[in-house]
């Protein structure tokens, strides 16, 4: 310091006289100013040091709320019924009455198989029926005549029995022919293929002119989408509570959100619990039934399902970001009235959206730190930081 002070007392010309370079002088003057600054900083007031030890934080109140008991899961949409259309009779596909992707009603005509072969079989069966009916009538008359002759001792018992049995056989032949007629009519009916359900058609799998094999060739798939199912899995540890509310007077409701939307898109009713737990995944399959009146849900679609079981009242709720993980378990920092931070171990129940239900460790009305925990330790003084809606961040320090 003696050398620096002596150098500071000399003029610039003195520096040149002492054979110092301009650079050397600049360095020496800079060191002197730095030392003077350090001396001034060392004389800062105690109040500025105390302010530097106050940690700015953001807080949220501990409140009591009614919170829903919900289970969320990724779900898939399934049709209420899926029907693969096949022909019951063989023949050439003659007419197609629908287009791919068309809405159809139950019993709407979809396809026609060439019916000429079946009409011929019907005519033949009807001819056989007429012939055998005439023979049966004649056999009945012979049996009656022979019975009369037997009563007058003009015919033997053997002749009467033979005539009666011949008439019975003729009647059996008539019934067989009637069955053949009915079968031929049924084949004609099967040549006109109708929709078994209300639904929506998929792609055509056969065109006019294709030869169709009975019970083999696939023609079309019809999906029933009003109503339909939303299928999802829940962990097996939730099975007991799900069954409890499923068998109550009012089955639980299921809300569905269609990504990327965040609002509830559709609401249905839990209608099915599978009869076994999947041992590979430890989950059980559930289904909700949705009326899908506006057709927002579509088979094969992935959605977010929320099973709403019940609502619990008066639960302590804080923002989830206030909960920290420690070696002794979850904890929060509580801001005391004297503006110091207190570490509290808490028992976390479950998450509800961006909030967590706290079973123990804090009380309603207290304030927990939601931002700034990294700079805190038990007993730290804090300043509650607020965010203005019209300007930049401000700080408020309680006296």
Instruction: Indicate the SS3 state at residue 217.
Output: coil
Report d(CA 253, CA 249) in Å as an integer: 12
Residue 84 is predicted with a pLDDT of 96
Question: Can you read off the two tokens belonging to residue 39?
Answer: 């001396």
The tens place of each residue's pLDDT in the chain, 399 residues long, gives 444 444 444 444 443 344 444 444 444 445 444 444 444 444 444 444 555 588 999 999 999 999 988 999 999 999 999 999 999 999 999 999 999 999 999 999 999 999 999 999 999 999 999 999 999 999 999 999 999 898 988 889 999 999 999 999 999 999 999 999 999 999 999 999 999 999 999 999 999 999 999 999 999 999 999 999 999 999 999 999 999 999 988 889 999 999 888 888 899 999 999 999 999 999 999 999 999 999 999 999 999 999 999 998 999 999 999 999 999 999 999 999 999 999 999 999 888 888 999 999 999 999 999 999 988 999 999 999 875 433 444 344 443
- Give 239-268 pLDDT, tens digit per residue: 999 999 999 888 899 999 998 888 888 999
Report d(CA 82, CA 70) in Å as an integer: 31
Residue 139 is predicted with a pLDDT of 94
Report d(CA 28, CA 8) in Å as an integer: 8
Cα 162 → chain centroid:
75
Report d(CA 228, CA 266) in Å as an integer: 12
Place of tokens 């420690």: 326
Residue 52 is predicted with a pLDDT of 58
Residue 59 is predicted with a pLDDT of 95
Model-level pTM? 0.66
Nearest to 228 by CA among 275, 284, 295: 295
Q: Is the backbone peptide bond immediately before 330 cis, with ω within 30 degrees of 0?
A: no
């Amino acid at each position: 310091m003696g050398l620096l002070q002596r150098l500071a007392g000399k003029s610039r010309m003195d520096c040149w006289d002492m054979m110092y370079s301009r650079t050397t002088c600049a360095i020496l003057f800079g060191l002197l100013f730095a030392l003077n600054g350090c001396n001034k900083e060392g004389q800062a007031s105690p109040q500025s040091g105390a302010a530097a030890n106050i940690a700015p934080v953001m807080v949220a109140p501990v409140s009591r709320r009614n919170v829903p008991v919900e289970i969320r899961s990724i779900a898939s949409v399934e049709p209420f019924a899926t029907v693969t259309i096949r022909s019951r009779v063989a023949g050439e596909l003659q007419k197609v009455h629908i287009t791919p992707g068309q809405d159809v009603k139950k019993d709407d005509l979809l396809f026609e198989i060439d019916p000429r072969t079946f009409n011929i079989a019907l005519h033949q069966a009807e001819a056989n029926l007429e012939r055998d009916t005439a023979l049966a009538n004649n056999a009945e008359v012979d049996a009656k005549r022979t019975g009369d002759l037997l009563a007058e001792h003009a015919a033997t018992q053997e002749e009467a029995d033979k005539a009666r049995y011949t008439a019975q056989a003729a009647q059996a032949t008539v019934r067989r022919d009637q069955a053949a007629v009915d079968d031929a009519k049924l084949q004609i009916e099967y040549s006109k293929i109708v929709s078994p359900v209300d639904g929506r058609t998929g792609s055509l799998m056969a065109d006019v002119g294709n030869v169709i094999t009975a019970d083999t060739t696939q023609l079309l798939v019809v999906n029933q989408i009003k109503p339909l199912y939303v299928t999802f899995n829940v962990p097996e540890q939730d099975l007991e509570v799900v069954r409890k509310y499923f068998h109550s007077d009012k089955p639980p409701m299921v809300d569905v959100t269609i990504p990327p939307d965040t609002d509830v898109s559709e609401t249905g009713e839990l209608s099915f619990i599978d009869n076994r737990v999947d041992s590979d995944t430890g989950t059980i399959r559930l289904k909700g039934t949705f009326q899908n009146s506006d057709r927002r849900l579509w088979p094969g679609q992935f959605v977010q399902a929320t099973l709403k079981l019940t609502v619990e009242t008066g639960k302590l709720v804080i923002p989830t970001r206030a909960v920290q993980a420690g070696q002794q378990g979850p904890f929060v920092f509580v801001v005391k009235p004297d503006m110091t931070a207190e570490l509290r171990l808490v028992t976390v129940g479950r998450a509800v959206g961006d909030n967590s239900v706290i079973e123990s460790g804090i009380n309603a009305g207290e304030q927990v730190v939601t931002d700034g925990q990294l700079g805190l330790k038990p007993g730290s003084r804090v300043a509650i930081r607020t965010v203005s809606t019209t300007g930049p961040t401000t700080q408020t320090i309680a006296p």
